[in-house]
Amino acid sequence: MKTARLTLRRCSHLVFSAVLCAAMALTWGAAPASAGQPQRLDFGGIGRTYSLHVPPGLEHPAGLVIMLHGAGATGSSWEWETNYDAFANAHGFVVAYPDGIDFSWADGRGASVPDRQGIDDVGFITGLVGKLTSDFGIDPGHVYATGMSAGAFMVNRLACERADMFAAIAPVAGTLGANVGCAPSQPVAVLEMHGTADPVVPFNGGPMVGRGGPSDIISAPAMAERWRQTGGPVEFRQMDGLGHVWPGDASALSTQFFANHAR
């Protein structure tokens, strides 16, 4: 198990490969005992799964974070890889790590199995939000979403279509498909992080090829500008020279951003 943990941590220092990290996690065993507990939610006739983390001893959560993995990964492997629970604990956030169908998301680009199958991931995730805010008595103005790569594309789609449910988002290394509309019903606070040397999701947009196939995407600066035009506070972090990775400070930055941007 020690070898497995060292190898998983090493993934965060290399160009991100969700397929590789997920495969290693499955090969060497489950996440450590500190990881969230597996849960199930039936939606659209499908039993959807997610990992749930509740800070120890927490009686009144300060908020809920939906954390979305990249293509090829799982919620539990992404929970371990990002060490997000530790930062959520500091702010009193409950965190849900949903599992995508075929390890991906229906983010609107048409470049994934769930997209091509017509999976309603917007409905699933908002249904999960409704359940968890009710179960834990969380203020609906304290719901947030973050994720990387395919997860970030899905986060942006969630905010575009269900701005009423998300006070703030923090997409990392992901924008929107050029074919995906975005007309949020109200402003959303946005922290966007993207490396200029990203070889998978190009910083300047255009054609890309991900795990599910090719798509055309808008650039990171254009995504930030689109969010600014909706009227919400936007913080754009252009990370010079950074590749397709979850930055070492992304967990700390996103949880602090969420704590500062409740409705």
User: For the chain, which domains are there?
Assistant: 2-259 (3.40.50.1820)
**Mean pLDDT, range 189-201, rounded to an integer:** 98
- Residue-wise burial string across 126-145, b where 16 or more C-beta atoms lie within 10 A, e elsewhere: bbbbeebbeebebeeebbbb
Distance CA 30, CA 79 (A): 12
**Mean pLDDT, range 118-122, rounded to an integer:** 97
Q: What is the pLDDT of residues 209-251, one digit of tens each?
A: 998 889 999 999 999 999 999 999 999 999 999 999 999 999 9
At residue 176 the predicted structure's pLDDT band, cuts being 50, 70 and 90, is very high
Least confident of 14-23, 55-64, 119-128, 178-187: 14-23
Evaluated on CA atoms 106, 111, 113, 115, the torsion sign reads: positive
Residue 21 in this model has a pLDDT that exceeds 70: no
Residue 103 in this model has a pLDDT that exceeds 50: yes
Distance CA 125, CA 183 (A): 19
Location of structure tokens 């909706």 = 230
Higher pLDDT pick, 28 / 72: 72
Task: Quote the pLDDT of residue 82.
Answer: 96
Residue 93 in this model has a pLDDT that exceeds 80: yes
Residue 3 in this model has a pLDDT that exceeds 90: no
Task: Quote the pLDDT of residue 37.
Answer: 73
Distance CA 262, CA 143 (A): 8
Residue 6 in this model has a pLDDT that exceeds 70: no
